Structure formats: C-alpha cells, structure tokens
Homo-oligomer: A and B are copies of this chain.
Amino acid sequence: MITVYLAEDQSMLNSALTQLLELEDDLHVVGSATDGAAAWADLQRLTPDVAILDIEMPKLTGLDVADKLQAAQMLTKPIILTTFAQQAYFERAVNAQVAAYLLKDSPSDDLIAAIRKVMTGQTIYAPELVVNMLTAAHNPLTDREMAVLVAADEGLPTKAIAAKLFLSAGTVRNYLSAIFSKLGVHSRLEAIKIARTNKWLQ
C-alpha cells in the first residue's frame, strides 16, 4: 500500500483527486491540505510515501515544502504538480531533487502512473519542460538592473527609484537604458512586460 499526501489549493481538484486516488487498490490518501504550511506540518507527522505538491499555494509554495523535505532528509518523495511549464520553477524543483514534475495539463491517469513509478525509484519529468530547458531564454539582466526594473515595476518615477537604491537619477536612467537595449525595447512598460512574460518579474 502506497501512502499519499495531497497539497493542492484548488479545492475542486484537491477533492476530485483525493477521491480518485482512493479508488486505486494500492493507493491510500492519508491527508490533504490547501496551503503549504498545513501540508508541511502534516507531512512531518504522517511521513507518507509520496507527497503531491502544487507550487502556487498560500503560505508555503510546493517548492518550499520540497526543499524542507530534502533538508529534513525525509523519505517522502515529492511530486510537483503544477499548471504551467515555467523554467524557473522547474530548475528549482530539479535542485530540490523532486521525484516527479508533472503538469496539470496531463490526465489524472498520468499522475497515478507517476506515483507508482516514483515508488520504484524512477524520476519523471514532463517532456515539455526538458525540451524547454535547452531553449529557455535566460535573464540577461544584472542584479543591479533587475533591482532598477523591480522598482520601475512598482510605478516609481526615476527620482524615487534613485532614492530607493541610493543612486543618482542619471544612473537610474542609464540602467533603464541598458535594460531596454538588452531587451530590444524603448520604454519601461515594454521592458516590464517582457520581464513578466519571461517570469523574471513577479
């Protein structure tokens, strides 16, 4: 019998999956939560074989929980189950040595199959992500440029950005100019849009 814990903040999916997994003879759902902190508390107590973790949850993300599982050297195998194929998330998950990384864009049978496979020691990554890994646009901005862009994203004007980062206004404009040139745009708005679609921001 494989014991499974489910952390998923969308109740509809949480309850549907719980019931579905329970129907399998070799699986038993020992608990579930809709936020990361509750999940982590439960996991320490229940030590299930597998923990299915959504990434975007209140309080703690699924990746945070996976990190904690690894740090505590627990035997519970984390399976990340998330909506979108975002490179940054995937890389963090690989570093946290998750047992599987699945997209919600695949059928529930895939999840059930994945649970059984990770119990045999296999590691499973959604193929979309592995392909993406090679082609992913990585952030060309320096830390300093990112700090300026983040401040700009808050809607602050040049002077306020300068004050916030203890720079002169001219330097801030220079950074912004450098950012625009790297991203091939000509305004804060466009730069922010690009940074956002590439998930460098927010």
Interface positions of A (Cβ within 8 A of B): 10-17, 19-20, 23, 81, 83, 103-109, 111, 152-155, 157, 185-190, 192-193
User: What are 12 A-B interface contacts by the 8 Å CB criterion?
Assistant: A10-B104, A12-B17, A12-B103, A12-B105, A12-B107, A12-B111, A13-B13, A13-B16, A13-B104, A15-B108, A16-B108, A19-B108
Shortest beta-carbon distance from A29 to chain B in Å:
13
Copies in the complex: 2
Interchain nearest-CB distance for A190 vs B (Å):
4
Report Cα–Cα, A154/B189, bound state, in Å: 8
A193 partner residues in chain B, CB cutoff 8 A: 154-155
Residue of B nearest to A12 (CB): B104
